[in-house]
């Protein structure tokens, strides 16, 4: 394990403040992270944040944000590409697991005390895709692909690993690649998002996406879609008893199919929720450099740049122990950076409540309406009121003796 750093070499701080006290503190975590490396950020049970990424030398590395800043640990040689990216999960009892691929095999790394222990990936297959997640009981789950279009789910039990087919997507052309997101909701049930894209000719592409939910012992498809440029899920995280998802397609960022903002066609994103259930989204282009973007939704989406260096390739978002959003992202030339926000998530913007007024505002008239009775300021009835201010109410009937509402009027003759 590498020594812990309170401040890393060449750390650089940026602060951007507004009149409302909003601020971002942007810090360089690692100057040797690979250009545009995919990253994943999780929050452990003790509130510490962990992120995984790849270095320029090909090492898979994890960084932990604690009370004294970021500390770094090298895991081992690996392959962290867009589809073969590392996956990280945190359990409810302090469990941490990292899934990644080396040149020839897949590996799980679990944190035991202060060291990471390796073990072979339990389901070796033809697709280098492996996503991990813990359920509410601390059981480890994994999602992986076989023959590109078949998506399986594995669950660790006391007697070992068991697996079942979760989704099987239809492919009509030459397969180009596959991807998946996997998570476990608050009720302990897993959710599985699978995506396959293929080439039908030199210019025509096809793809298929599907979301499945494990209900009891059966995987059930929630919805499926196919066609060109179907939004690709970039994040799938637990929310209430289900999941929330972020996707991008046709140059638009979507949150649960609701439009958030216009983006570059090739963007990656992360999704998290505040303690109040407010969705927090961060994104950055995959291939071109640009400032990372942060957005949150109250009654509408609020979108703003995060100050600091431009990012490309990898980004993720979580909330720290204080409930503030933390964004970790990779850059094209200066490694891995983190951005911590302070008061950047606003309150719900409800219209100001108007207290009803009980003050009698005068109504200007030229004569009393039929059946109305006028009183002067002393309460005496006026039979033939002249010009002036009077208080008027309707004459009660013989059947209904209840007094009517009083109106303040100005009589002008």
Query: Could you tell me if 150 and 250 lie in one domain?
Result: yes
Q: Which of 290, 313, 342 is the last residue in one of the domains?
A: 342
pTM: 0.78
What does the pLDDT look like over 175-194, one tens digit per residue?
Answer: 677 788 899 998 889 999 98
* Average of per-residue pLDDT across 277-281: 95
Does 5 have pLDDT greater than 80? Answer: no
Query: Could you tell me if 384 and 269 lie in one domain?
Result: no
* Average of per-residue pLDDT across 374-394: 64
What does the pLDDT look like over 229-276, one tens digit per residue?
Answer: 667 778 899 998 889 999 887 789 999 889 999 998 788 999 999 999
Query: Could you tell me if 114 and 187 lie in one domain?
Result: yes
What is the residue-averaged pLDDT of the chain?
80
Query: Could you tell me if 318 and 375 lie in one domain?
Result: no
170 found inside a domain = yes
Query: Could you tell me if 371 and 260 lie in one domain?
Result: no
8 found inside a domain = no
- What is the extent of the structural domain holding 383? 363-411
What does the pLDDT look like over 306-345, one tens digit per residue?
Answer: 988 999 889 999 999 999 999 999 998 889 999 999 999 9
101 found inside a domain = yes
| Structural element, H or E, at residue 151 | strand 150-157
> Taking CA 402 as the corner, what is the angle to CA 401 and CA 407, rounded to the nearest 5 degrees?
120
207 found inside a domain = yes
* Average of per-residue pLDDT across 88-107: 88
What does the pLDDT look like over 210-226, one tens digit per residue?
Answer: 999 999 889 999 988 88
Residue 282 binned pLDDT confidence (cut-offs 50, 70, 90): very high
* Least confident residue range of 158-167, 250-259, 262-271, 348-357: 348-357
Number of CB atoms found within 10 A of residue 230's CB: 18
Residue 362 makes CB contacts below 8 A (sequence gap 6+) with 389, 408, 409, 410
* Average of per-residue pLDDT across 151-168: 93
Nearest residue to 140 (alpha-carbon basis) of 78, 83, 74, 93: 93
352 found inside a domain = no
354 found inside a domain = no
Q: What is the pLDDT of residue 72?
A: 95
Does 119 have pLDDT greater than 70? Answer: yes
Per the model's pLDDT, the better-predicted residue between 59 and 5 turns out to be 59
What's the count of helices (H) and strands (E) in the chain, helices before strands? 0, 34
Q: Any idea what DSSP says for residue 17?
A: E
Query: Could you tell me if 328 and 378 lie in one domain?
Result: no
Query: Could you tell me if 261 and 382 lie in one domain?
Result: no
Query: Could you tell me if 70 and 187 lie in one domain?
Result: yes
Domain count, the chain: 2
* Average of per-residue pLDDT across 181-209: 82
Residue 390 binned pLDDT confidence (cut-offs 50, 70, 90): low
5 found inside a domain = no
206 found inside a domain = yes
* Average of per-residue pLDDT across 349-367: 47
What does the pLDDT look like over 35-55, one tens digit per residue?
Answer: 889 899 999 999 999 999 999
SS3 261: strand
CA 107 from centre of chain: 28
Query: Could you tell me if 297 and 394 lie in one domain?
Result: no
Query: Could you tell me if 25 and 136 lie in one domain?
Result: yes
Residue 211, both tokens: 């979301």
Burial category of 41 from C-beta neighbours within 10 Å (exposed 0-12, middle 13-18, buried 19 and up) = buried
* Average of per-residue pLDDT across 391-396: 58
Query: Could you tell me if 70 and 194 lie in one domain?
Result: yes
CA 300 from centre of chain: 15
Query: Could you tell me if 404 and 337 lie in one domain?
Result: no
Residue 113, CA distances (Å) to 28, 110, 117 in order: 27, 10, 10
Per the model's pLDDT, the better-predicted residue between 181 and 348 turns out to be 181
CATH number assigned to the domain comprising residue 331: 2.120.10.70
């Amino acid at each position: 394990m590498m020594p812990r750093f309170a401040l890393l070499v060449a750390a650089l701080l940026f602060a951007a403040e507004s009149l409302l006290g909003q601020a971002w503190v942007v810090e360089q975590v690692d100057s040797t992270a690979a250009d545009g490396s995919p990253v994943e950020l999780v929050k452990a049970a003790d509130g510490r944040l962990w992120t995984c990424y790849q270095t320029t030398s090909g090492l898979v590395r994890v960084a932990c944000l604690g009370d004294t800043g970021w500390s770094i640990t090298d895991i081992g040689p690996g392959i962290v590409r867009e589809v073969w990216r590392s996956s990280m999960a945190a359990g409810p009892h302090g469990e941490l697991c990292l899934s990644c691929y080396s040149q020839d095999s897949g590996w799980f790394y679990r944190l035991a005390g202060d060291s990471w222990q390796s073990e072979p990936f339990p389901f070796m297959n033809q697709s280098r895709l492996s996503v991990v997640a813990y359920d509410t009981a601390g059981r480890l789950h994994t999602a992986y692909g076989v023959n590109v279009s078949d998506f399986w789910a594995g669950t660790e039990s006391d007697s070992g690993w068991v697996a079942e087919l979760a989704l099987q997507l239809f492919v009509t052309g030459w397969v180009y690649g596959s991807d998946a997101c996997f998570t476990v909701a608050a009720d302990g049930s897993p959710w599985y998002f699978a995506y396959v894209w293929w080439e039908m000719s030199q210019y025509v592409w096809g793809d298929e996406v599907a979301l499945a939910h494990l209900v009891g012992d059966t995987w059930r498809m929630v919805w499926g879609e196919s066609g060109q440029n179907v939004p690709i899920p970039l994040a799938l995280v637990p929310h209430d008893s289900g999941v929330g998802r972020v996707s991008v397609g046709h140059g638009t960022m979507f949150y649960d199919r609701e439009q958030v903002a216009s983006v570059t066609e090739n963007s990656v994103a992360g999704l998290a929720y505040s303690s109040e259930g407010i969705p927090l989204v961060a994104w950055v282009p995959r291939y071109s450099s640009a400032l990372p973007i942060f957005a949150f939704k109250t009654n509408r989406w609020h979108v703003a740049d995060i100050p600091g260096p431009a990012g490309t390739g990898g980004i993720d978002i979580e909330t720290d122990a204080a409930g503030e959003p933390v964004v970790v992202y990779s850059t094209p030339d200066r490694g891995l950076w983190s951005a911590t926000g302070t008061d950047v998530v606003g309150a719900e913007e409800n219209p100001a409540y108007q207290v009803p007024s009980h003050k009698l505002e005068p109504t200007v008239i030229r004569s009393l309406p039929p059946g109305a009775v006028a009183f002067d300021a002393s309460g005496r009835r006026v039979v033939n009121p002249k010009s002036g201010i009077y208080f008027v109410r309707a004459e009660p009937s013989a059947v209904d003796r209840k007094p009517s509402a009083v109106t303040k009027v100005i009589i002008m003759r």
